[in-house]
Amino acid sequence: MEARAVCKNVRSSPRKMRLVVDQIRGKKVEEALNLLHFNPKHGSKVVEKVLRSAISNFVNKSEGSRVQTEGLVVITAFVDAGPVVKRVQPAPMGRAYRKRKRSNHVTVIVSDIN
């Protein structure tokens, strides 16, 4: 059985967030939480929140049976690009530079080892 959690419209570029998500893919849940908690990158807090939500979703999904989170593994974790907010910054000689403020969607899927 598996459970997933999604966090949408995170105000960070997808490229920076993928660096964090690549570290936890395929790891056990305890190890992934430990990596994220002590990672200095900004995106690690968001990914940790999504991972905790996926674990909670897994526990709620299997309410009839006893669940041990020690057996959970992050089977899939990926980042998709979200909407881009476009702004204009004044530039020399009457020009304007376009700024693209990117966002992303983080998805984490956990499953038991069975």
28-78 per-position pLDDT tens digit:
999 999 999 999 999 999 999 999 999 999 999 887 777 788 889 999 999
State the pTM of this model: 0.91
Q: CA 34 → CA 12, 51, 112, distances in Å? A: 22, 11, 18
Average pLDDT over residues 13-25: 96
Dist. CA 106–CA 94, nearest whole Å: 39
Q: How confident is the model at residue 114 (pLDDT cuts 50, 70, 90)?
A: low
Report how far Cα 28 is from the mean position of its chain's Cα atoms: 16
Dist. CA 17–CA 25, nearest whole Å: 13
Q: For residue 8, which amino acid is it?
A: K
- CATH fold group of domain 2-112: Ribosomal Protein L22; Chain A (3.90.470)
Q: Are residues 29 and 55 in contact, defined by beta-carbon separation less than 8 angstroms?
A: yes
Residues of the chain with pLDDT > 90, as a percent, come to 87
